Chains A and B, each alone.
Chain A
């Protein structure tokens, strides 16, 4: 009986003592956190992608509430709706968030492209790029080891069976993490309603580019000449589409038929239907 009593007393007292200390500490040491931070965090998509430039959604919520200079429209995946909600919560003004999605400027998968050598090292694009810019003949093309796939927190990119990343435009939020991770800087962020885009990144002269890849942009300038709205310009042997002009004015997309290598591709229907591009 004595033992039982001592157990109850000792454990009870020790427990009560610690409980009291914790209760007091909870009162005395309470950290006041602005409740607005939690409200803002609830609004954010919580992909923790870091596209806003902060360490995660919580860090951005804290910054946008506490720091006057942090803009409420930094969340790119959240698009306009989230920017508006954050702006309402924090009492800041939201600017337009340009929606955008990732687009791969290469359409020749590693399986079919001509190669300089056979690579069997670390299975990562950055590593392969260090060795003579990768095994592809074309030094600008997609390496196809999926560094972008690993980066995507929204699971919007997948390698197809030929080793070319396919971006699911329905899932892509436009955070741009893949574009930063790609050692070839081959992923371009384009507006989701873009009509056409050049699926090539080669800055080589026409003959060299053509020799390395049959569907390369050879910089011939035919598309530029054909476009009635001057939406295409030629820089460093590569055609660039100005999507803004293209979306506003173009209706027939003559450039698609004129391209001799079919490097310029339509991305209109696919995006509208939420398909991969």
Chain B
């Protein structure tokens, strides 16, 4: 149990995908302009990472390993995640229109996102069991949500600040993200 808890916290804070591994930066900057959108994005990413990890685990262990083609992992996962996200979008649109209104547009944005691809790949690289890869996936998703929500709150405050002209907009956002990342690096080494 302790193991899983550590893994989860590690994925959320210590090995935060955005702030310490610098993955998924495009949506991190693109959708962090307001809090509401970033919450939707965080939820969409978390659920997609979680469910695609389940599929990825199955595909890897029951198709790629028995056929001795594990070198195809990356490309198969790209295929898997892209089609899964498409499918998820259709299902949500059909059966959960309210949810679709909330984060339907974000789903297609993350179809080819690197965070979503990285989590299943890292699960396999670290030889995680099924349960462990689920915990890691959930933690990574929550970590992404935490990072983007923090960033959106900061950027909403930033809108009222007087920013030097050359740094306005994305410039100051990069600087803020840098500081945020520095503070998250403070956690490194806490959990090995």
Contact = CB atoms under 8 A, between A and B. Distances in A.
Interface residues of B, number: 20
B169 to A, nearest CB: 14
Interface stretch (A14-22, A74-82, A255-263): A14-22
Given A6-B67, A7-B69, A31 B93 contact: yes
Interface in A1-40: 6-7, 10-11, 14-15, 18-19, 21-22, 25-26, 29-31
Interface stretch (B9-17, B18-26, B83-91, B118-126): B83-91
Contacts, number: 46
Given A10-B63, A11-B72, A11-B75, A31 B94 contact: yes
Contacts of A10: 63-64, 67, 69, 72, 76
Contacts of A193: none
Contacts of A124: 160
A72 B87 CA distance: 36
Contacts of B59: 14
A127 interface: yes
A93 B90 CA distance: 36
A122 interface: yes
For the complex of A and B, list the 6 residue pairs with the smallest distance between their C-beta atoms, beginning with the closest.
Answer: A18-B83, A29-B94, A29-B90, A122-B160, A25-B90, A10-B69
A121 to B, nearest CB: 9
A123 interface: yes
Candidate in B63, B64, B72, B83 with the most chain A CB atoms within 10 angstroms? B83
Contact of B83 (A21, A30, A122): A21
A15 B87 CA distance: 14
A127 to B, nearest CB: 7
Contacts of A21: 83, 87
Contacts of B63: 10, 14
Nearest to B94: A29
B96 to A, nearest CB: 11
B79 A18 contact: yes
11 contacts: A10-B72, A14-B63, A14-B76, A18-B79, A18-B83, A21-B87, A22-B86, A25-B91, A26-B90, A29-B91, A30-B94
Interface residues of A, number: 19
A64 B63 CA distance: 51
Contacts of B162: 123
Contacts of A14: 59, 63, 76, 79-80
Contacts of A19: 83
Nearest to A55: B101
Given A11-B76, A22-B87, 14 more contacts: A6-B67, A7-B72, A10-B64, A10-B72, A10-B76, A14-B59, A14-B80, A18-B79, A22-B86, A25-B87, A29-B90, A122-B160, A123-B162, A127-B160
Nearest to B162: A123
Contacts of B67: 6, 10
A144 to B, nearest CB: 16
B165 interface: no
B87 A6 contact: no
Contact of A22 (B83, B93, B160): B83
B68 interface: yes
Contacts of A30: 94
